[in-house]
């Protein structure tokens, strides 16, 4: 039996879904648009038999549990604090944390949901990941420099990607490729998720497009976005146990999916106006976002992310810019909430 001391020294286990390596569309649950997607010869050639898709229930339950574990356990236990900074107009200080996860640790990550395609070739084995996280605590009320729980929930969980575009000046498009809204209801999954401690589960695929300073081309990130409320309890007392929200984003390779807009270059071929018609560089990012009301009545907001903008932007330069952007997002969100409040929307 492990003692308390030995358990404390053991780092939390890693899953293989919340990773920077993009998932193949063939590794996603069944969806009408995905069934029309023909696997590329490169995908199929890696395996003697094409893999079966994961069940929607298993995939989403696994991804939510992995994300919750990362936010509630891994970030507090394994990330290193780099001090706190201001993020005006937010009144709350923002603590910055970092962690580098070596490739060897990622290679041993396990999950009930396998990744036979994206991890099949040796060249595609997960590389080391550089994570940046932040943590802030906000007075739970409507007022200057802060927001109440309802405003956090509406702004971060509901239509997450659309709201991110509204409060982030660098994001010029949030294009929804597909969603599993009908499938979640048709499979009768809401009560199943509720028994696990998750409510209002949504799963959608977006292309999030960011403008970068000249001469860099815009970046587009294709992500599966899963959001949920976390509620007390859960089957056998194993659920999240604290009311709050959870948002997890994982990268998807949409380069061969015709329903995508940016990842396959369709935006440029169709000649969309302005920035939306420009060729983009496809980057990758993954993130976990968690907010909850603390015992002291504050709203704690935690976010962790790893990313690679690709192209000619070297990783050392990206690492210099990400910490400031991660902290700045708190001020952008709180400022956006305040403006909406004044406008009565």
**What pLDDT was estimated at residue 124?**
58
Cα separations in angstroms, 138 against 147, 160, 185, 240: 7, 20, 35, 21
pTM: 0.91
**What pLDDT was estimated at residue 9?**
45
- Under-70 pLDDT residues of the chain: 1-12, 37-51, 120-126, 233-242, 344-345
HSE at residue 2, side-chain half, CA atoms within 13 A, is: 7
**What pLDDT was estimated at residue 106?**
86
| DSSP codes of every residue in 173-234 | EEEEEEE-HHHHHHTT-HHHHHHTTEEEEEEEEEEEEE--STTSPPEEEEEEEEEEEE-S--
Cα separations in angstroms, 53 against 24, 115, 192, 207, 293: 11, 10, 20, 22, 37
3-class SS of residue 153: helix
């Amino acid at each position: 039996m492990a003692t308390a001391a030995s358990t404390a020294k053991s780092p939390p286990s890693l899953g293989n879904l919340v990773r920077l390596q993009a998932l193949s569309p063939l590794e996603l649950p069944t969806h009408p648009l995905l069934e029309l997607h023909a696997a590329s010869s490169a995908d199929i050639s890696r395996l003697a038999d094409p893999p079966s898709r994961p069940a929607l229930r298993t995939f989403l339950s696994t991804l939510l549990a992995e994300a919750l574990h990362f936010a509630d356990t891994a970030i507090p236990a394994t990330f290193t604090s780099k001090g706190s900074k201001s993020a005006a107009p937010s009144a709350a200080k923002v603590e910055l944390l970092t962690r580098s996860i070596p490739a060897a640790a990622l290679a041993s990550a396990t999950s009930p949901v396998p990744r036979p395609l994206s991890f099949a070739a040796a060249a595609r084995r997960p590389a080391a990941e550089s994570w940046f996280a932040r943590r802030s605590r906000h007075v739970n009320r409507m007022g200057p420099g802060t927001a109440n729980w309802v405003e956090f929930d509406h702004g971060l969980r509901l239509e997450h990607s659309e709201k991110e575009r509204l409060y982030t000046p660098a994001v010029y498009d949030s294009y929804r490729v597909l969603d599993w809204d009908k499938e979640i209801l048709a499979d009768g999954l809401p009560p199943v998720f509720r028994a696990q401690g998750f409510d209002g589960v949504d799963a959608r695929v977006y292309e999030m497009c960011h403008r970068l300073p000249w001469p860099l081309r815009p970046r587009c990130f294709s992500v599966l976005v899963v959001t949920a409320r976390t509620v007390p309890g859960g089957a056998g007392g194993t659920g999240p146990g604290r009311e709050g929200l959870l948002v997890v984003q994982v990268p998807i390779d949409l380069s061969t999916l015709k329903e995508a807009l940016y990842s396959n270059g369709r935006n440029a071929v169709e000649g969309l106006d302005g920035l939306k018609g420009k060729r983009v560089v496809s980057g990758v990012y993954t993130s976990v976002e968690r907010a909850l009301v603390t015992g002291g009545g504050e709203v704690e907001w935690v976010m962790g992310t790893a990313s690679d903008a690709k192209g000619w932007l070297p990783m050392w330069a990206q690492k210099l810019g990400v910490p400031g952007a991660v902290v700045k997002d708190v001020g952008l969100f709180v400022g956006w909430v305040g403006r909406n409040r004044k406008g009565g929307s």
